[in-house]
Amino acid sequence: MKTPQPKSNSEMLGSEIFCEAMAELGVDVIFGIPGGVLLPLYDKFKKYGHKVRHILPRQEQGGGFAADGYARVTGKVGIAIGTSGPGATNLMTSIANSMMDSVPVVYITGQVVEEMIGTDAFQETDVLGMSMPVVKHSYFISHAKDIVKTLKEAFYIAKTGRPGPVHIDISKDAWVTEARYIHETEVDLPGYNPIPEKCSDSEIKKLNSLLEKAKKPVLIAGHGVEISGAQSELKKFSEKHNIPVVSTLLGITAFPQNHALWLGLIGMHGEAVANLAAHNADLIISAGSRFDDRITGNLKSFTKNTNFVHIDIDISEIDKNITTDLPLPGDAKDILIRADKLLSSHKFENWWHAINEWKKKYGFLDFSLNPDNEKDFLSQPRIIKMISDATEGNAVIASDVGRNQMWTGRFYRFRKPNSYITSGGLGSMGYGVPSAMGAKLGKPDREVWAICGDGGFQMNMQELATIAENNIGIKIAIMEDASLGMVRQWQNLLFEGNLSETVIKNPDFKILASAFNIPAWNAESYEEAENAIKNARDEKGPALIAFKVDPNEHVFPMVPPNTPLGEQALNDNDLK
């Protein structure tokens, strides 16, 4: 049903204009916490509750991560609000997270009245200056007349080109002044060109000569493929040229994981075969990946004797980390569609013979590189596989950061695009639970799991209250190893086992969940784990499982910093 539009010939308070604009922009949920300078706005939220739902997180960072998770799974713009001072600063980690992972979120912060700015007023903070390095754009509003235009521009900037966060700092004046509601039908931003000039067909045709010359090509599927909705085009391209595909962590659902051309995750904790293929490739074609250090390993080794083709909508990424032989700026979907029409097909049979030999030698997409220490503890990757099998790969998975994140990327078998959300570039612990909360609110018909380490879970476990209050039906899997697991692994392998401040004392997570009336189970055996997963899935509302897992089960392969991908460690002994 079309949202009724306010009359534009009558004046309204800025707080009312804001609520009307949110509804007109199609916003269905806002995550925010009230505070002094936001009270005029919150005074109107109940009046507009039938148009826009408001969710009260228990900390602004949780609300920001929830808005981020919501945006990732829906493709819509997420909204998070924080008051002046600490409310705004609490959002900073969420804002940086959205920037590094190209997520369209509009972050709104309250500010003191304009005449008091610069006087060190109560809760006055230069949050605009703080946020500028980690946003696509920033605004400051001090009058109601600027609200609609600014919001529409912010939404446009957040969504177009390479997506990202936009920050709007709004002084208290804007909520209490009056203005007419002006319907802004078009956004006019001279100088903002979100889509670079299309690369020409003749440029795309140059890829033919590189493919003709290549003997060992590899295609990297990055997050940009998912953002552009180019999954089917990528699949068609790889099949036409018979090129093996490796995935970045954020691009893990950009290519079918049951496909014969897929080699798995690349990088520091990627699949052994994927890393060897990239290390030995003479042509690497990247679609929507920025060649960050976690996938390249040692840059000199990564680029040696290799030609690079870079497809990216953000021209600032091209030639930033590596020298590109053929830059193809633009939208991945458009470029891959045109490439299908312009390029001849290829086979690379000898290359596939070498790859298949690596699969036999190193094991492929299984648990052969992980230690079995199941006498006293459960194995994290096996638990991930159990959740994957139970959900048939159809769930949305929000993982925290650490070993659970790497194993989820490797052993959950995703069947649908945009189904894995995690803090990739920023690597922020505490992301899992609140982002799952946002994802479930955005996709209420999808099954949503948060997979967390016990350390990351405790960084935002206050959101259990939000989940319980709103009956948000996510399932939480805590990998309980009483450790900051990934840091512990590095200490074990690279710092002679000096476990400095990585062993933690946990609460009883089952009792903690019961305090919020959330059904919960502890699992110390695989039989208990299987039953707990079934029971959690049977719950219509939220549920929590704490799995007692091995604190010394290390994620392998492991490519230590500044090490070539081809010199990956496959077990503990390789690092001694």
Do 237 and 314 fall within a single domain? yes
Q: Which of 172, 235, 440, 475 is catalytic?
A: 172
Q: Respond yes or no: is residue 527 known to be catalytic.
A: no
**pLDDT band of 546, cuts 50, 70, 90:** very high
pLDDT digits (tens, 9 = 90+) for 471-500: 999 999 999 999 998 999 999 899 989 999
Do 170 and 214 fall within a single domain? no
Q: Which of 486, 489, 491, 558 is catalytic?
A: 486
Query: In this prediction, what percent of the chain has a pLDDT beyond 70?
Result: 97
Residue 39 token pair: 């009270």
Do 307 and 421 fall within a single domain? no
pLDDT digits (tens, 9 = 90+) for 397-454: 999 999 999 999 999 999 999 999 999 999 999 999 999 999 999 999 999 999 999 9
User: Does the residue 444 lie in any domain?
Assistant: yes
Do 231 and 268 fall within a single domain? yes
Do 304 and 157 fall within a single domain? no
Do 242 and 133 fall within a single domain? no
CA dist., res. 38 & res. 20, Å (int): 16
User: Does the residue 110 lie in any domain?
Assistant: yes
User: Does the residue 190 lie in any domain?
Assistant: no
CA dist 496 → 177, 225, 492 (Å): 63, 40, 6
User: Does the residue 371 lie in any domain?
Assistant: no
Report pLDDT for 125.
87
User: Does the residue 374 lie in any domain?
Assistant: no
150 contacts 141 by C-beta, under 8 angstroms: yes
Q: Which residues pair with 77 in a beta bridge?
A: none
pLDDT digits (tens, 9 = 90+) for 179-221: 999 887 788 898 888 887 889 999 999 999 999 999 999 999 9
Q: Respond yes or no: is residue 459 known to be catalytic.
A: no
User: Does the residue 574 lie in any domain?
Assistant: no
Do 265 and 143 fall within a single domain? no
Q: Which of 60, 271, 317, 480 is catalytic?
A: 60
The residue segments making up the domain with residue 274 are 201-362
Q: Respond yes or no: is residue 60 known to be catalytic.
A: yes
Q: Respond yes or no: is residue 414 known to be catalytic.
A: no
CA dist., res. 321 & res. 542, Å (int): 43
Which CATH number fits the domain that encloses residue 126?
3.40.50.970
Q: Which residues pair with 449 in a beta bridge?
A: 397, 475
Q: Respond yes or no: is residue 172 known to be catalytic.
A: yes
Do 443 and 500 fall within a single domain? yes
Report pLDDT for 119.
80
Q: Which of 51, 114, 123, 516 is catalytic?
A: 123
CA dist., res. 264 & res. 523, Å (int): 29
Q: Which of 5, 122, 213, 392 is catalytic?
A: 122
**How many domains is the chain partitioned into structurally?**
3
User: Does the residue 576 lie in any domain?
Assistant: no
Do 480 and 549 fall within a single domain? yes
Do 352 and 391 fall within a single domain? no
272 contacts 362 by C-beta, under 8 angstroms: yes
Q: How far is CA 76 from the centre of its chain?
A: 14
Do 532 and 420 fall within a single domain? yes
